[in-house]
Homo-oligomer: A and B are copies of this chain.
């Protein structure tokens, strides 16, 4: 997905929020905003938004000197999600269609996103999403693709959401490789977060190699790209991964909640809609 004009003020806003997570020193945050503002002219509109995000969050690290501003909040989100796990798991097991309910759970976990300017209440939001209609629901295609795939490549998004991913992975009944970011960026899931979420009990964990807040193939390592190119079923979580991968040629299912109107427009849905969208299947 290309960068839209609306993404530019949003990037300033993201820099402000990330800066505030890293430091209370307003002069440092001002310097960060000055730097991001001056970068605007170098942002190619044909790039995907997370490619620019990669540069912005790098500037957050460089200018504030803090490599993982979201460390504590990620830990708290994982703990809260783990506390919900037994009940969510029970919901899935008791439902008429456990695979579809698990997909819904995985999307519900996508509210834990600190890259967008939206507050969330995990328990309330999850309950709401569990009852919400899908705006796009390519479930038949998903089931069919799952049947023919030997294994699943599962692209994680946020820490905490990863606990909800575990529930879906347990319903797939296929070998799963769970893909994490190479380094901490926003509250995206890293190897450490995935292990804290119990993903290591149900999947192999690998890094995409990227330092962007999404899977951007041109920024990924060769091992990941090879796996990506040979996968029969790729599950992609969240907005950032959609922005990065919406034009690839592989069979990808995007599981996300549309949290900004730019992405909602691009998907032809409304803001706050939930989506299971398959491409190249």
Contact = CB atoms under 8 A, between A and B. Distances in A.
A13 B14 CA distance: 13
A12 to B, nearest CB: 4
A16 interface: yes
B29 A34 contact: no
A45 interface: yes
Interface in A1-55: 5-6, 8-10, 12-13, 15-16, 20, 26, 29-30, 33-34, 36-41, 45
A34 B41 CA distance: 5
A41 B35 CA distance: 8
Contacts of A15: 9
A39 B40 CA distance: 11
Contact of A9 (B12, B26, B30, B34): B12
A37 B29 CA distance: 15
Contacts of A8: 12, 16, 30, 33, 37
Oligomer: number of copies: 2
Given A8-B16, A16-B6, A40 B45 contact: no
**Of A6, A20, A34, A39, most B-chain CB atoms within 10 Å:** A34
**Chain A facing B: main interface SS:** helix
B5 A9 contact: no
A198 to B, nearest CB: 37
Contacts of A20: 5
Contacts of A9: 9-10, 12-13, 15-16, 33
A130 to B, nearest CB: 30
A69 to B, nearest CB: 16
Contacts of A6: 16
Nearest to A3: B30
Contacts of A41: 34, 37-38
B30 A34 contact: no
A135 to B, nearest CB: 22
B5 A29 contact: yes
Interface of A: 5-6, 8-10, 12-13, 15-16, 20, 26, 29-30, 33-34, 36-41, 45
21 contacts: A5-B20, A5-B26, A5-B29, A5-B30, A5-B33, A6-B16, A8-B30, A8-B37, A9-B9, A9-B10, A9-B13, A9-B16, A9-B33, A12-B37, A33-B40, A34-B40, A34-B41, A37-B37, A37-B39, A37-B40, A38-B40
